[in-house]
Amino acid sequence: MPSVTGLLKQDHREVEDLFSKFESTGDSTIAEQICEELDLHTRVEEEVVYPPLRSDVQGGPGMAEHAEKEHAEARQIIGRIRQTKDADHLRELVLELKHAVEEHVTEEENEVFPKMENEMGASRLEEIGAEAEELKAAS
């Protein structure tokens, strides 16, 4: 059973690949794929990952609150992406989203995930990973 941190890192790599594909093509369907992936990813984090982060990790409440603010920023950009019809504006918005996501990913992978791994233990991270997989499968 995979660890939740491993699953989230896999999501991060998939979205990074989508950003690269969009940059080379400018294809609006790829932009929508990015938005869909991020919608699901943030939902999994907020519903499955952040509750135990808040309760089981020292400093977790502050980390979760900070991440949720970043999610709100990403949601605003996603809303603007979904409304634009102009290709140049779409490129600008996707680039803005990419920068926001890169910052979020860096913080998670360098600060949040190591703290979770150190303080929660492998079996708890696998339990949360199973919950995350269930939510993704049901979506």
Q: How much is the pLDDT for 41?
A: 97
| pTM listed for this prediction | 0.94
Q: Is pLDDT of 20 > 80? A: yes
Q: Write out pLDDT tens, residues 117-130.
A: 999 999 999 999 99
Joined together, the tokens standing for residue 75 give: 């949601």
Q: Which residue has the tokens 């594909």?
A: 21
Domain count for the chain: 1
Could you tell me the CATH number of the domain that includes residue 127?
A: 1.20.120.520
pLDDT digits (tens, 9 = 90+) for 78-113: 999 999 999 999 999 999 999 999 999 999 999 999
Helix locations, the chain, DSSP H:
4-25, 28-44, 50-56, 60-83, 87-107, 113-120, 122-138
Residue 102: domain span = 4-138
- Helices 87-107 and 4-25 meet at what angle, rounded to 10? 160
Sequence-ordered list of residues with C-beta below 8 angstroms from that of 61, at least 6 positions apart, any chain: 54
**Whole-number Cα distances in Å, 94 to 3, 28, 111:** 29, 10, 25
pLDDT at 129: 97
